[in-house]
Amino acid sequence: MSDTVNVPLKVLHGLSSGLKSVIPFASLREQNARLKNEIDLLKRKLDEAKLVQDENERLKEILGFRKAIPFATTPAEVIGRDPSNWSNSLIINKGITQGVQPNRAVLSTKGLVGRVLEAGRYSSRILLITDPNSKVGVVIQRNRQGGMLVGRPGGLCKMIYIALDSDVTKGDRVITAGLGSAFPKGILVGQVIAVGKEPGRLYKYALVRTSQDMTKLEEVLCIK
């Protein structure tokens, strides 16, 4: 008889022990969930702080660059791009009211960006030098060989009208020639990555990688 009674008691005791072991695990799961939420919140705050820090560093760099160059400029932020023309034009948050003028050069701390295509009262459209419609008079810095820089699909530029006997070579730096009113002389444009000659032409060409990656622009300087 005692054996018959002991069996249910053992089962109840086992269930009781099991419940005691389950309850702490449930509590731990809740605690882990809270800790995970707190960690996620801290990560978001760190990411936000990093964004602010990066922006401050960029603004300090622009301020220092602005003081160093011999041009009066208006700083502006990039606020939009044409979805159909992502790498060739952009919108900035400054316009005529802030001193931005059409057909004036636009710079970054790394070099020439483009020119003001249209200026509204409080915003402007910038035509980047990578746009096929862009044309800039340039020279090779090392040997003063002149040519015309035109935009190309894919984010590169092409320097054309280079004399056949010119010794332009890969790695040469390209700067603005200062011809016309839009682009002052001596602004860095980019670096030669390849040189060639098109059949039937009486001049060489050079492919140029711009010093500024146009897809990463966030702030610019508009020459007044």
What CA–CA distances, in Å, run from 164 to 175, 177, 200, 206?
20, 19, 12, 12
Q: Is 8 helix (H, G, I), strand (E, B) or coil?
A: helix
Q: The tokens 């389950």 sit on which residue?
A: 22
Q: Is this prediction's pTM over 0.75?
A: no
Q: Domain 76-224 falls in which CATH fold?
A: Thrombin, subunit H (2.40.10)
For the segment 88-122, what is each residue's pLDDT rounded down to a tens digit?
A: 889 999 999 999 999 999 999 999 999 999 999 99
What pLDDT is attached to residue 95? 96
For the segment 165-216, what is each residue's pLDDT rounded down to a tens digit?
A: 999 999 999 999 998 778 999 999 999 999 999 888 899 999 999 999 998 8
For the segment 56-91, what is each residue's pLDDT rounded down to a tens digit?
A: 666 666 667 777 788 889 999 999 987 766 568 899
What pLDDT is attached to residue 8? 52
Domain boundaries, the chain: 1-68, 76-224
Strands 157-163 and 173-176: unpaired
CA angle at 124 for the pair 180 and 113, rounded to the nearest 5°? 50
As a whole number of angstroms, the distance between CA 105 and CA 69 comes to 13
What pLDDT is attached to residue 38? 76
Q: Which of the four pLDDT bands, split at 50, 70 and 90, describes residue 9? A: very low
Q: Where are the alpha helices (DSSP H) in the chain?
A: 2-68
CA angle at 94 for the pair 220 and 89, rounded to the nearest 5°? 55
